[in-house]
Amino acid sequence: MAFWDSLKLKTREMNTQLATKAGQFKNKEFANGTMAICALIAAADGSIDAQERQKTAGLIMSNDVLKVFPPDELRQKFDWYCSKLESDFDFGKVEAIATIGKLRSKPDQARAVIQIGIIIGGADGTFDEHERAAVKQACHAVGIDPAEFDL
């Protein structure tokens, strides 16, 4: 239970930090990176069921940081990454990680994408090993030590 309480506290802290920086991150690479990590989290166990896809999309639309982007554009990009992962999981995963990796030279935005991945991953009350592994891969793609996020 201590881990879950710690995760909830960190999630709240991350949301607060991200909300203060939201306007700085209004660019295509950040939007693409966030949708790529959201799709990776949704598909972390190797598949995306309709309920999981819908729930993740709802979380995306309600996230304060992402409200700086047109919701329809986010939804289309999320669906695009999900489709890539569903049609060929391994190739879709490579493509999503590569998209996230484009933020390597923008550490603040890269951290924000990682934080959004953690928030989305823990939103259902669990942050399982598959979701943690997906976030770790994203950390490596942007050159951030996963230990910075207790992963």
CATH number at residue 64: 1.10.3680
Q: Which residues contact 143 (CB under 8 A, 6 or more apart)?
A: 104, 107, 110
Q: What is the pLDDT of residue 18?
A: 53
Distance CA 135, CA 69 (A): 22
Q: What is the pLDDT of residue 1?
A: 46
Distance CA 148, CA 124 (A): 22
Q: What is the pLDDT of residue 8?
A: 57
Q: What is the pLDDT of residue 14?
A: 57
In which residue ranges of the chain is pLDDT below 70?
1-25
Residue 23 DSSP class: G
Domain boundaries, position 42: 2-149
* Tally of structural domains, the chain: 1
Q: What is the pLDDT of residue 21?
A: 56
Q: What is the pLDDT of residue 57?
A: 83
Q: What is the pLDDT of residue 6?
A: 60
What's the token pair of residue 150? 């207790």
